Each structure stands twice: as structure tokens, then as C-alpha cells.
Amino acid sequence: MDRAAHHCGGGKHRRGAGPRIRADAGRDRTERQTEETQPRSTGLGGSSLGGLVTLAMGILFPSAFTRLIVMSPSVWWDDFAIYRLVDSIEHKPPLKIWLDTGTNEPGWERARTLCTALIDKGWHPFEDLHYHEIEGADHGEGAWAMRVEPALRFLFPPRPIA
């Protein structure tokens, strides 16, 4: 079984049903844990296929997740469906996005194309979109681990001490 089929069920679920169910369930659980959860402070992150799903869920459910870590997204998935999803955006949702890729990843240039598409839809570099190409970084957990802290600092900057 190939990696994508293993992680994604081999196409056995109805298109669109999986993310909707999981986003709703995840949001319900979060709200049960704290009554003070504000959409402006909720985040989601992932790498590879997880990065792709993170961006899709942010676009589809902007009231649930407003801060996204999208590392090394598998832009190629489903014949580049993420490009079509971004292109379908009529009104830019209030998402703050960290998007990155390593230059030793196959097809890393696709993340740059995705960044351009987000800018075309109204995101502003260094304000609500941070894009980073990491020279020499590969498509693996070690490379992603090195980028988590700067991603979190961009998405959740420290509050000034009063």
C-alpha cells in the first residue's frame, strides 16, 4: 500500500465528508475543554499531507481555525486540488498562515506557486502570510521540527507585558 492510500483511506470516504466531520468534532472537543476559546486564538498545523489538510480546513472552516501552520504541503494531492480550492475563495477569510518548504523536497516550487495564489486572494506577506523556503531542508520530521518555533512566534506573537 502506498503512503497516500495508507494515510488517506485510499479514496474510500465520500469526497468532502471527512474534513467536515473531523473539523466539527475537533472544535466541539476544544470548546468543551475551555469556554473561553476565541477563533482568533485557535490554530491548526501539519506537514506534508497534514499541511495540505490544515490549509484546506482553514479555508473551509475559518470560524474554527484562524492560525495555520502549513509545512511542506503535498500540493500535488488530488491533481493539485488545493490550487482549485484557493482559486474558489470569493472573500478572503481571516486566516493567518505560515507556509514553508525545503529546497531539497521534490516539487518544492509548488509551495511558492501556492503562496502566490494566496497573495492573489488578498493575503499580505509578513502580515497574515509568512512564506519561507529553507535552503537544503528535506521533507522530514527533523526539518519540520526546526521550523515549529518560528512558525508559532509568527502566528502567536508574544503579548506585551503590562
Cα dihedral 35, 39, 40, 46, rounded to 10, equals: 110
Mean pLDDT along residues 99-111: 96
CB of 125 closer than 8 Å to CB of 99: no
| Residue 48 exposed, middle or buried by CB count within 10 Å (0-12, 13-18, 19+) | buried
Single pTM value for the model = 0.78
CA of residue 151 relative to chain centroid, distance: 11
CB of 92 closer than 8 Å to CB of 121: yes
- Residue 125: closest CA among 100, 88, 158: 100
Fold of 41-155: Rossmann fold (3.40.50)
- Residue 84: closest CA among 109, 113, 122, 49: 113
Mean pLDDT along residues 83-94: 97
Question: What count of other Cβ atoms lies within 10 Å of the Cβ of residue 112?
Answer: 14
The model's pLDDT over 9-38, given as tens digits with 9 standing for 90+, comes to: 554 444 454 454 455 555 555 455 444 455
Length of the chain: 162
Q: Compute the distance between CA of residue 129 and CA of residue 95 in angstroms, rounded to an integer.
A: 8
pLDDT at 35: 44
CA of residue 36 relative to chain centroid, distance: 24
pLDDT band at 44 (very low <50, low <70, confident <90, very high): very high
